[in-house]
Structure 1
């Protein structure tokens, strides 16, 4: 059966920028439209960012991505729940994040492997002599937000303070990435995303691209080399792949305490993103 063609939003009005056509969006460098994608999603989650609205119906839109062979293209799309049936550019409802996660893990919100890897990370952080305590998938009450979250791994180190680690092994929604990033920024707690299953020499899936961009072009992976180095150095060591604009450089083994922690609370080893 032939795939039903989908309509696309032809233009949007972006706050502080003005009208942006789909042609202008497609012509932007990936860093540029990627940063817009992040900021639009942050605003949708109630944080600082940019609003974007469909020029036809004035409903909120975001920047989604479409992959054709090895190329990724940005497109405007209406948010799930807006359902502007009267808009000729409306592409239909989106799947909800919880439903997508349940489908991935056969009705569960977390896979067994994900849990085991979080516990492995917890074992590694406990090797550090500065280690004080940790929690795996436990509720962390808020200090500057209306609600708390359940970080994959929450750890406290003497002289360094708290850290949150999120172990990402599957596709996730940009709204969820934004929500976690902005939550811990508001809480003043560094958030370190560790990726699993990333194709470091091929085409990287979009959710990983979103995480890497927020880490200023740094991809952090806990592979065999990083685990061995962590055991030898008695602290958390990660393989850091740096974005070179055409892919990822060969990895460097980086201790977590070598990372720069910016105001966004998303650590990086080298800033590989050119400001828009």
Structure 2
């Protein structure tokens, strides 16, 4: 194997009873093999640090299940190491963890993390911040929250009541928490009429951590962080202040992308959706819907421009038509296999593009006025759409300048306006291609579907 791809093997014993350890300073639960590492010298130094911590009553690492300090033991003949409880009295579930389910293991780890320095500091910051906000009352650290169901209870890190009506549970997230535990907590507080708010010590939206994602994406892409700085801000503003981090959708290179944003916010600025157990500052879900609409508009514009270019070209390439036809079909718009099909929109589109361009398109006429006369004589069902296009593109003056005999203005216009007023069937608009016309010419879409009338 190439040396560049060689990954040193951990010096940890495989299948050790203590497979993970709790870092008491940060509150992180780390795999034993990661902490022990692959460097023998550093492993020996770690042994000393662990023992010194135990001796000074400030353990570096503990068992995450029972929070008993651990030391590093060596299998000298094999050059391997494993963590062992400083006090082995048989009570730790690590000895029999095979009989524990995911829920029990996670609950033990979660309780263990609560003993870390970082976790204690976080709870203190949250509680002190809440006590500076007059909207919150009954602030408690690790109270017992009894549920209505028998033997149903939780012990949130911090609990407070907002504006006298809404109990809020603040849970600190420092390390791995199983999805089941997150879901069960959400369901408990929802059932009990409360609100769950997860709080982080640090959060990086670009860092892929499943537990972090389980909370972040189920909270409308908003995460909240507390620190000594937010505590100072809470004291100064007399309200609970949090650092909110979120991702915001934007359109880049005709595609959706997410950018990270952050802002220090007050709790009163947040949107609360208790039924969905969501608390957020930025409505990422709503913004995403707007971006998706914007992307759809961009895609539509591209297709629309491609169709315009095709129809205005001197030759209608059948391969290009087939591609356009397929894309229109994806939007629920059906057109014939051939662009010039006699039962298709060929003559209607020639009429509308002529009105749009101010010159004959697809017709063997010299001027736009000739197209107008021809449509009146042969395609009366196209008059409504043509009139809308002429008005949308300010072609009235052009038509008048070309109508030298006034036959169009004084005779034919009056005739079709009168026919519309009477509801004459001969002048009734052809609705077969309204969907296509509305897509290609959005400037007339709103009026196209209405009944013809003088405008």
TM score, norm. by length of structure 1 = 0.57
- Deviations 1:139-158 (CA, angstroms, capped at 9, x unpaired): 11113675011111111233
Task: State the 1:194 CA deviation.
Answer: 0.6
Deviations 1:83-142 (Å, cap 9, x if unpaired)?
Answer: xxxxxxxxxx9973544675799x666423212311221111011123321221121111
**1:113 correspondence with 2:118:** yes
Match 1:254 to one of 262, 265, 268: 265
Tell me how far apart the structure 2 counterparts of residues 104 and 155 of structure 1 sit (CA, whole Å). 21
Q: Does 1:268 align with 2:276?
A: no
Correspondence 1:1-276 to 2 at 5 A: 96-99=102-105, 110-143=115-148, 147-200=152-205, 202-244=206-248, 249-262=260-273, 263-273=275-285
The structure, 1 or 2, with the larger RCO (C-alpha pairs under 8 Å, 6+ apart) is: 1
Which whole-Å CA distance do the structure 2 matches of 1:225 and 1:109 have between them? 22
Q: Between Structure 1 and Structure 2, whose CA radius of gyration is higher?
A: 2
Question: Separation in 2 of the partners of 1:180 and 1:104?
Answer: 12
* CA spacing shift, 1:123–1:227, aligned 2, 3 Å: closer
Residue in structure 2 matched with residue 82 of structure 1 by the alignment: none
| Cα distance in 1, alignment partners of residues 178 and 220 from structure 2 | 19
Cα distance change on mapping 1:228 and 1:268 into 2, 3 Å? same
User: Given the superposition, is the C-alpha separation of residues 226 and 111 from structure 1 closer, same or farther in structure 2, using an over 3 Å criterion?
Assistant: same
Q: 2:129, 2:228 → 1: CA distance?
A: 13
- Structure 1 residues 100 and 159: alpha-carbon distance in aligned structure 2, compared to 1, 3 A threshold: closer
SS at match of 1:261: strand
Contact 1:221–1:239 (CA under 8 A) maintained in structure 2: yes
For the residues of structure 1 that align with 2:136 and 2:114, how far apart are their CA atoms?
29
Local SS of the residue matching 2:145:
coil
User: 1:230·1:236 contact (CA, 8 Å) conserved in 2?
Assistant: yes
CA contact (8 A) 1:164 1:190 kept: yes
Which ranges in structure 1 are unaligned for 5 or more consecutive residues? 3-92
SS in 2 for 1:240: strand
Structure 2: any 5+ residue segments left out of the alignment? 1-8, 11-98, 250-256, 290-455
**Structure with the higher strand share, 1 or 2:** 1
Aligned-pair distance for 1:192? 0.9
- Supply the distance in 2 between the matched residues of 1:270 and 1:211 (Cα, whole angstroms): 15
Q: CA 1:130/1:248 → structure 2, altered by over 3 Å: closer, same or farther?
A: same
Matched length: 184
**How far off its partner does 1:257 sit?**
1.8
- Displacement after TM superposition at 1:266 (Å): 2.2
